[in-house]
Amino acid sequence: MRAAVVVNASAGALSGTRPRLDRADLESRLRAAGIVAQFAYPSPDRLCDAIDRALAGHPDLLVAGGGDGTVSAAASGLTGCPQTALGILPLGTLNHFCKDLGIGGGLEDAVAAIARGHAREVDVAQVNGRIFVNNCSVGAYPEAVRRRERLRERDGHPKMLAMALASLAVLRRLRVELRLDGRIAACRTPAVLVSNNRYDTRLLKEDRRERLDSGELWTYTTKAEKPLHLAWLAVRALFGRLEETDDFESWPSHTVRLSLPRYDTLVGIDGEVLRLRLPLDFKILPRALRVLAPEEPSPRPVSAR
């Protein structure tokens, strides 16, 4: 098997937020699993170039090491390339995509999943031509991330405190028009999230998506804008009752067009914040990515009542 391994040099395990990754140990683990590969450890600004160079050799397997942003970059290069499968080393902080695939947070579990070679075809989503594997958000979240970084640079606040202060400052409603498969929904909301497949809205649930191959986008909005109101919604989410409130709405679709009364907007895509021109056009790409992951559990039998 011809393989290429690209590890983001600024991923959590390499940047000091987690125990430093031993590159020799990683390469030894993969060789022991029968994976002989070319290795690259690019900085974030060179990550996409490194992925492109790795794929130019037409490998059978691309292993991406990093967080959800790194996985998203790898998926972008691999979408529509069925001859190359994606293996993932979860070296980020949250690793949502890995968790939803059933890959444990440890390096040992990830290498084992790659070595078993079980490939699953999963969906990816696209916004204005950019691939994402988890979700894309508009409104409060990307605005808070931008303000958080300013607070950290200016005042030296810890990351969590800066995020809390930033979040309080950006809660304002946007006038949003959504076209969901052609159906129009207009609303005023502080945030819109469009996801690749449906999220379980219970906050304490580790694997937030039961399926990654339903072929659907899901769009979520809330009418809440005051901190106490949002805190109440979070409490309801803890008990799995978020969707019972009138202040939370969700819709499935295959395409979404999001419009705002402005020229462009900040968006959060798989943990990365960037600015895109409006309108935002989303679509789902069913089973466009082959990824090595544990086999899906068999559906539970339905008990007779």
Indicate if 136 and 264 belong to the same structural domain.
yes
- Residue 305 has a pLDDT of 36
Whether 189 maps to a domain, the answer reads yes
**Cβ atoms of 235 and 212 closer than 8 Å:** no
Most confident residue range from 20-29, 95-104, 168-177, 246-255: 95-104
Q: Which residue has the higher pLDDT, 41 or 170?
A: 41
Q: Are 80 and 154 within one domain?
A: no
| Digit-coded pLDDT (tens) for 122-181 | 999 999 999 999 999 898 777 766 666 666 667 676 656 655 655 555 566 789 999 999
Q: Indicate if 48 and 176 belong to the same structural domain.
A: no
Q: Residue 6 and residue 26: Cα distance in Å, rounded?
A: 12
Pairing mode, if any, of strands 255-259 and 280-292? antiparallel
Domain assignment of residue 196, yes or no: yes
pLDDT band at 92 (very low <50, low <70, confident <90, very high): confident
Q: Which two tokens stand for residue 133?
A: 């594997």
202 and 157 part of one domain: yes
Amino acid code (one letter) for 256:
V
Whether the per-residue pLDDT at 14 is higher than 60: the answer is no
Counting Cβ atoms within 10 Å, is residue 245 exposed (0-12), middle (13-18) or buried (19+)?
Answer: middle
**Residues 95-99: what's their mean pLDDT?**
92
In the predicted structure, residue 240 carries a pLDDT above the cut 50: no
Residue 161 lies in a domain: yes
pLDDT for residue 89 is more than 90: yes
Query: CB neighbours (10 Å) of residue 207?
Result: 12
Instruction: Tell me, yes or no, whether 235 and 263 share the same domain.
Output: yes
Residue 126 lies in a domain: no
Say yes or no: 13 and 110 in one domain: yes
pLDDT for 239 beyond 80? no
Q: How confident is the model at residue 249 (pLDDT cuts 50, 70, 90)?
A: confident
Q: Is residue 294 part of a domain?
A: no
Angle among Cα 13, 78, 282 to the nearest 5 degrees reads 95
Out of 70, 87, 117, a domain closes at: 117
Residue 44 falls within a domain, yes or no? yes
33's CB contacts (< 8 A; 6+ apart) are 111, 112, 114, 115
CA nearest neighbour of 269 among 142, 179, 174, 153: 142
Q: What is the mean pLDDT of residues 227-240?
A: 45
Query: What confidence score (pLDDT) does residue 140 get?
Result: 73
φ, ψ of residue 211 to 5 degrees: the values are -135, 150
- Do 171 and 36 sit in the same domain of this protein? no
End-to-end CA, the chain:
50
Same domain, 141 and 280: yes
Domain count for the chain, please give it. Answer: 2
Of 72-76, 251-255, 267-271, 295-299, which gets the smallest average pLDDT?
A: 295-299
Of the candidates 59, 84, 117, which is a domain's last residue? 117
- At residue 108, what are phi and psi to the nearest 5 degrees? -60, -45
Residue 210, in any domain of the structure: yes
How does residue 75 score in pLDDT terms, banded at 50, 70 and 90?
very high
Do 150 and 8 share a domain, yes or no? no
Q: Is residue 299 part of a domain?
A: no
Instruction: Round to whole Å and give the CA distance between 135 and 264.
Output: 19
Q: Do 200 and 63 belong together in one domain?
A: no
CATH number for 58? 3.40.50.10330
Shared domain for 148 and 243, answered yes or no, is yes
- Verify that 22 and 143 share a domain, yes or no: no
pLDDT digits (tens, 9 = 90+) for 196-214: 999 876 544 555 888 999 9
Stretch 237-242: mean pLDDT: 43
Q: State the residue range of the domain holding 200.
A: 132-284
Q: What CATH number corresponds to the domain at position 219?
A: 2.60.200.40
Tell me the per-residue pLDDT of 217-229, one tens digit each, with 9 for 90 and over: 999 988 655 554 5
Residue where a domain terminates, one of 62, 82, 117:
117
